[in-house]
Structure 1
Amino acid sequence: MSVKQRILLMEDEEHLLEAIKLNLEMEGFFVRAVTDGKKALKVYKEEKFNLIILDVMVPEIDGFQVAETIRLENSEVPIMFLTAKNTSEDRITGLKKGADDYLTKPFNLEELILRVNNLIKRSMKGDDLKEINSYKIGDKTIYFNSFELKNDDGTVTALTKKETMLLKLLIERKDEAVSREQILETVWNYDVYPSTRTIDNFILTFRKYFEPDQKNPIYFHSIRGVGYKFTDGHS
């Protein structure tokens, strides 16, 4: 890494804070470590970060509130929660507050490093893709701003907003398995809870649109027990 990626780490257990900081620094990251929510927000306002890691239960202002405050002005920076709270309600609360990832204690440092690298890589890839307005799959081009699918022969299919959002999410995360939880958070924004069948139906529709052979998809794949993956068919 020519420029060090910067991480803001908030954790009130001193030994854990030091262990995480040391391991991240050994990976080549610059780490700014704080032990409470007030300090985290102060440092966040003064410096620029590529990733924010927040323990939930800390003094002054808890991790959920810190995330909420950051998200009011920055929807792009990846946020990861570290917490001993591991119920699905807690996970949903964390994701609602704008988290990109959620790791429960006790955790394996190697797994933390892996997730950190993935989040930073994804956010850097996101910078390149943020302005993505169209994308070609086979003989069809998706226009994200106008919710249209144009065929090379000139025919146009109207896409729904949800179809367009899901296509954009899968394309931005090309070659990565995207979990149902992430789809739920990004596309449905927790307004409603679609069943797995609902998301499956979207994937079936995409196969109808794009796949030369729907039974042997080359673009839109279901990953059993995880979610879905888009590949461009040429890689």
Structure 2
Amino acid sequence: MTTPTKVLVVEDDDNLGLLLSGYLRAKGYEAELRTDGKQGAQAYAKNRFDLLILDVMLPLKDGFTLAKEIRAKDPEVPIIFLTARSMKQDTIQGFQSGADDYITKPFGMEELILRMEAVLRRTKGVVAKAEEPVKYTLGSCTFDVRKQHLRTPIRERKLTTKESDLLRLLCMHSNDVLDRSKALQEVWGNDSYFNGRSMDVYIAKLRKYLRDDPSLEIINIHGKGFRLVVP
């Protein structure tokens, strides 16, 4: 199975950020969301990303500054600006900051995906996006990420978006530790206490679904996160 393209989205509009990152995951990308320029810089410093999508008007550090700093360290990583700033000078400044593309809001999700793929073709030679539909075999169960569909030996179940996103992360880290904070950032957008309690409820639901195969188990790793044990 092809490794999904990893995308960092830095967007301070919570609703748009969650919508965008959720859409990218549904299309087979691995997306992380940060809500200000400082968080974006920290996320980039700690992880490898295949593509960056940056807003311009960000708290703490604007997108142009963030792009310049990243570009100084990494001349290869693709950068796309997604912003409401549509003046000609803004576009020029965006490309001068190191952008590979500059998209103004409002925008269409389908157009964004096509532009992402075009940038990836130019910069990487191939589109690294995972083949769709992405499927995981978990013992005697099958999980179709794109359709959000879980088939067990006993039943078939249509998962909610959050159930699907969380199970996908567990599958990507099967027999390894899925960091709790990472899961919260990926699926809920931040790692607040209340989101943590919500995630625990979803973990309990997934445990219940996977009980149809006794060889599967989701284990709590104290102080760290979760491990999906797959034979």
Cα offsets for 1:172-226 (capped at 9, x unmatched): xxxxxxxxxxxxxxxxxxxxxxxxxxxxxxxxxxxxxxxxxxxxxxxxxxxxxxx
- Structure 1 or 2, whichever has the larger Rg, is 1
- The match for 1:72 is 72
Distance in 2, Cα, partners of 1:114 & 1:43: 25
Moved over 3 A (4+): none
SS of alignment partner, residue 98 of structure 1: coil
Q: Could you state the TM-score of these two structures normalised by the residue count of structure 2?
A: 0.53
The residue correspondences of 1:188-199 to structure 2 (distance < 5 A) are none
Tell me the CA shift for residue 20 of structure 1: 0.7
2:110 is the alignment partner of 1:110: yes
Distance in 1, Cα, partners of 2:89 & 2:57: 15
Distance in 1, Cα, partners of 2:3 & 2:89: 38
| Structure 2 unaligned spans of 5+ | 127-231
- The match for 1:13 is 13
SS of alignment partner, residue 17 of structure 1: helix
Distance in 2, Cα, partners of 1:29 & 1:94: 24
Distance in 1, Cα, partners of 2:69 & 2:46: 14
- The match for 2:36 is 36
Tell me the CA shift for residue 122 of structure 1: 2.3
SS of alignment partner, residue 28 of structure 1: coil
Tell me the CA shift for residue 27 of structure 1: 1.3
2:31 is the alignment partner of 1:54: no
Number of residue pairs matched? 127
- The match for 1:84 is 84
Distance in 2, Cα, partners of 1:50 & 1:120: 8
2:16 is the alignment partner of 1:3: no
| Structure 1 unaligned spans of 5+ | 127-235
Distance in 2, Cα, partners of 1:68 & 1:124: 20
SS of alignment partner, residue 82 of structure 2: strand
SS of alignment partner, residue 122 of structure 1: helix
Q: Could you state the TM-score of these two structures normalised by the residue count of structure 1?
A: 0.52
Distance in 1, Cα, partners of 2:116 & 2:21: 12
Distance in 2, Cα, partners of 1:57 & 1:96: 16
